[in-house]
Chain A
Amino acid sequence: MAEPMRIRATMAGDVADVKVLMNHPMETGQRKDAKTGQLVPAHFIQEVTATINGATVLSANLGSGISKNPYLGFKVKGPKVGDKVVVNWVDSKGDTNTAEAAIS
């Protein structure tokens, strides 16, 4: 489960441009396995929380309609170069993953 999550955060003026790429199959529960013909059970990221220096800046609820290997981009005004961005997700099976990066 501990597949890497990639975060890139760069300052543009006084706004931090944060881009997050998560590794996840994002199964909707409606797709059939090509070999067995069985439905592939739903398995997708439900909650994503992003903090900068410990303060929450984004909390997202995702549905199965988000593409495989979800990409999330958002902009935060105010942080400085070197501030720590932490992103955490929880999926529909209760698995979690966390990654962090410094703003550059």
Chain B
Amino acid sequence: MNALRRNVLKGAAGAGTVAVAVAAGLLKPTQAMAAWNAAAFDAKNVGDAMKGLGVSGPADSKDIIIKAPDIAENGAVVPVEVTSNIAGTSSIAIIAEKNGTPLVGSFSMSGGTQGFISTRIKMGQTSLVRAVVQAGGKTYTAAKEVKVTIGGCGG
């Protein structure tokens, strides 16, 4: 990770991306509020990533269900599905704890969107995949271990 990239990221995440998008008329100003959270995404460990998200001491919850393979043969594409059965779920963040930059994505629900997100993530090594759910001003979390077989032949 070099200094140039960090600058580029900071610049892009601050004013750049959003300003360009607004200027192009592609984003309404209200939508552009979801500006990219550089502090959280550049964080090198889980603690900093959570701090970047504005989260501290989330409570463990059994109402968050993470669906991911027990063993992923290809760390480049690991399907992950997070379902939050917590009422009023407003956002879900997915963290691969041992990735170089652990925060993978954060998703904010509005309108009638349910506490569900399905995506595919990259994983550098065997690690916990953690979901952080915000609902009604509180934060909840759950995690599931995914073993990554590097160079595995799938036998």
Contacts and interface: CB of A to CB of B under 8 A. Distances in A.
A52 B1 CA distance: 38
Interface string B102-129: 1111111111111011111111000000
A96 B99 CA distance: 27
Contact of B119 (A68, A73, A76): A73
Contacts of A52: 111
Interface residues of B, number: 53
A56 B111 CA distance: 7
Interface of B: 1-2, 5, 8-9, 12-13, 16-18, 20-21, 24, 26-27, 30-31, 33-37, 40-41, 76-78, 81, 96, 99-114, 116-123
B31 A59 contact: yes
Given A61-B105, A77-B114, 11 more contacts: A15-B114, A60-B34, A65-B101, A65-B104, A70-B119, A75-B116, A77-B113, A90-B21, A94-B20, A94-B21, A98-B26
Contacts of B122: 28, 64-67
B129 to A, nearest CB: 10
Main secondary structure of the interface of B (DSSP, over half): mixed
Interface string A51-95: 110011111111111111011111111110000000010101110
A42 B27 CA distance: 23
A100 to B, nearest CB: 13
B76 A68 contact: yes
